[in-house]
Structure 1
Amino acid sequence: MRSTRFRTTRTTVTAAAAAALVLSASLVASAATQHAPDGGAAQAAPEVSAAVGALTWSDEFDGAAGSAPNPANWNQETGAGGWGNNELQNYTSSRDNSALDGNGNLVITARQDGNGGYTSARLTTAGKVEPTFGRVEARIKIPRGQGIWPAFWMLGGQIDSGTPWPDSGEIDIMENVGFEPHMVHGTIHGPGYSGGAGIGAAYTHPQGWSFADDFHTFAVDREPGRITWSVDGNVYQTRTTADVGGNQWVFDQPFFMLLNVAVGGNWPGYPDGTTQFPQQMVVDYVRVYDQG
């Protein structure tokens, strides 16, 4: 999300281990086209992501319709002010913007208010769930429309103990900008390679369809000195210490997770006459696995 943020200091809390479960990664359905952020080719034909280790934490979003996301897992960040990207939305803790739907999903809703402004929600696991290595994945149906900017991402836990962004690190697992409905992006930001200089690639839907048409599974696998991105089990990029151009690799530390839907901003641009509200990001689950 390319967002400069500051918080009060928090102490990292280790996530409680869930029941052990070993899952194989999704099988690739068909080959996909990848593009680098500058439009050039990324890596060759996608590989199938490897099997993962035991499930160590998850939120399956089971609960009554209209109830809040589990506060043992999620913080709700609130406020406006552009969030470092000239965004338009005001993040709230209202159930109008984030709530369970009663069918095992979390729904984050971006709305246009009666005064021409926008509200949405931004949830984080800071101080509650901060994995280091292993897989982090979520099954999500993203929203659509010009100026709509959904994201599933991570920030280094050190941001809460005095290390500013981007030195604390950022891992964008999935971002979509509404003018590219068929494409999602994965990026890392760190000291010397942040904002528009972030290092990443994009993944194009194998059939060229909009990612908003259905659920998809977005994941990163983290190892010391190495991060691999996949969509629906299709690996589309790997970044290592060799990719940061001699700058510091800051990703071998605890990172917390974020889910949000922004409205407008420097990268996606702003809503126009084609943009319909409300727009919803529907999250089936978020899961963390240890290394296989």
Structure 2
Amino acid sequence: MLLLLAACSSSVGHSSPEGGAGSREGAPTSPGPGWHLSWSDEFDGSALDPGTWTVEDRSTFGDGGKELACLMNRPQNVTLESGVLVLRAQRERTPLRCGAHDSRFPGGRDYSSAFISTKGAKDWMYGRFEIRAKLPTAPGTSQGLWPAFWLRPVTGGTGELDVLEAIGGGAGSPEPGQVHQTIWYDYDGTHPKESAAVTLPKGSPSDGFHVYAVEWEKGAMRWYVDGVKTFERTTQTTTWLDEAFAQPMFLRLNLAVGGTWPGSPDASTRFPADFLVDYVRVYERA
């Protein structure tokens, strides 16, 4: 099931942080009554907390989807700048060896990027999961880029919850300014994925910071962009909802390069490309 929905963006101005993190447009939002903040990372330190985040290093994690980047744990790809997490994709000047057994690119990869998760450290069963982010998907200069914020079960198996995904585009991109909000039962097609393609009518995900959230409760999921509800699934619309998601899940943030969905970068793709995250916050019911 594919739904086309619209969400409003905010235009509240903020000063630009130092260090090249970009303009911070779009005001933070507050959840509705009954939610309390249980955990957050505001990225105000000098480095990611290793007790919370696992950073993929010389990883070919995305090979199942034909992605092209070597995922690296180094300042060139993962850094904090003026209170903002930067996940950076780069075109390498010389091919980058991605481990000793990279069968797809034994001579090295032309791209590097970043992938972090809270697996083994932080997980939740139900809650509101929110980020404030600026995406590297500017139309015309972002072909092959694929940022995402998503959740997966601690034990693997059924259930993937995509708070947001977006793909970039070259000249004449068919979906400028869209983000995708999706749930999967599994990757075998037992049930079709259910997804919304959300267009921001004022600006786009790449023109400034916007707030993306999902509220996950027993029997219901609700997605928001800048405080506006954009998508909803319940056990009435999705009979398998609780079956797939009644288990603890952890967070993932990544910036993929290439793959079967976004396609490969081309000459117009601008590198380095930055997926900027102002914060990650998790709320639970009081």
Counterpart residue identity of residue 206, structure 1: P
Q: Provide the residue aligned with 2:83 in structure 1.
A: 104
The reply to whether residue 155 of structure 1 matches residue 152 of structure 2 is yes
Residue in 2 aligned with 1:75?
54
CA distance in 1, matches of 2:5, 2:207: 25
- 1:225 and 1:249 in contact (8 A); partners too: no
Contact kept? 1:49, 1:235, Cα under 8 Å: no
Q: Name the structure where strand makes up a greater proportion of residues.
A: 2
Q: Does the 8 Å contact 1:190/1:248 carry over to 2?
A: no
- 1:153 offset after TM fit, Å? 0.6
Q: Does residue 189 in structure 1 map to residue 189 in structure 2? A: no
Q: How many residues align?
A: 242
The answer to whether 1:123 aligns with 2:116 is yes
CA contact (8 A) 1:184 1:202 kept: yes
* TM-score normalised by the chain length of structure 2: 0.77
Post-superposition Cα deviations, 1:18-73, rounded to whole Å, max 9, x if no partner, equal xxxxxxxxxxxxxxxxxx74xx5459999x97345111000000123xxx311111
Partner of 1:63: 45
Return the TM-score normalized by structure 1: 0.76
Name the CA distance, whole Å, in 2 between partners of 1:237 and 1:270. Answer: 29
Note if 1:215 corresponds to 2:205: no
What residue ranges of structure 2 are gaps of 5+ in the alignment?
Answer: 10-29, 96-109, 170-174
AA aligned to 1:62 is D
The 1:260–1:105 alpha-carbon spacing in structure 2 relative to 1, beyond 3 Å, is same
Q: Secondary structure at the match of 2:236?
A: helix
CA RMSD of aligned residues (A): 2.6
- Using the TM superposition, give the Cα deviation of residue 198 of structure 1 relative to its aligned residue in structure 2, in angstroms: 1.4
Percent identity for Structure 1 against Structure 2: 40
Taking structure 1 as reference, are residues 227 and 146 closer, same or farther at Cα in structure 2, changes over 3 Å only? same
Distance 1:196 1:110 in 2: 33
**Aligned residue among 274, 277, 286 for 2:280:** 286
Where structure 1 has 5 or more consecutive residues not aligned to the other structure, the ranges are 1-35
Q: Could you tell me whether the CA contact under 8 Å between 1:150 and 1:281 is conserved in 2?
A: yes
Aligned-partner SS, 1:250: helix
- 1:195, 1:260 → 2: CA distance? 26
